[in-house]
Chain A
Amino acid sequence: MATKGIEESRRNFIRKAAAAGGLLATGLLNPFNAILYAVEKPTDPTKHWWGFGIDIEKCIGCGRCANACKEENNVPREPFYFRNWVEQYTIKNDGSVKVESPNGGIDGFVQTVPKEDIFKAFFVPKMCNHCYKSPCVQACPVGATYETPDGVVLVDETYCIGCRYCVQACPYGCRYIHPEKNTVDKCTLCYHRISKGKTTACVEVCPTQARIFGDLNDKNGELVKFLKEHTCLVLKPHLNTGSKLYYNGLNGEVR
Chain B
Amino acid sequence: MPPQLKTLIPLFGAFIVLFLIARHFLVPVSFGELGHYRFNSIAENKEKAMNYAGKDACADCHDDKAAQLKSDVHSGLSCETCHGPGQAHTENPETVKLNKPDQRSFCGNCHSMNASRPKFMVQIELKEHNPDKKCIECHNPHQPWQLKE
Identify the A interface with B (CB < 8 A): 31, 33-35, 39, 57-64, 68, 71-73, 88-90, 107-111, 113, 115, 118, 121-123, 143-149, 154, 156-159, 188, 191-193, 195-196, 198-199, 201, 204-209
Contacts and interface: CB of A to CB of B under 8 A. Distances in A.
B118 interface: yes
Closest 6 CB pairs of A and B: A34-B35, A146-B37, A156-B41, A121-B116, A192-B48, A108-B109
Given A204-B80, A207-B110, A88 B116 contact: yes
Contacts of B62: none
Interface residues of B, dominant DSSP: loop
Given A143-B36, A193-B52, 4 more contacts: A71-B51, A111-B114, A156-B44, A159-B28
Nearest to A55: B118
B55 A72 contact: no
Nearest to B117: A60
B92 interface: no
B9 interface: no
B112 A72 contact: no
A192 B46 contact: yes
B50 A61 contact: no
Nearest to B87: A72
Interface in B45-98: 45-52, 54-55, 74, 76-78, 80-81, 84-85
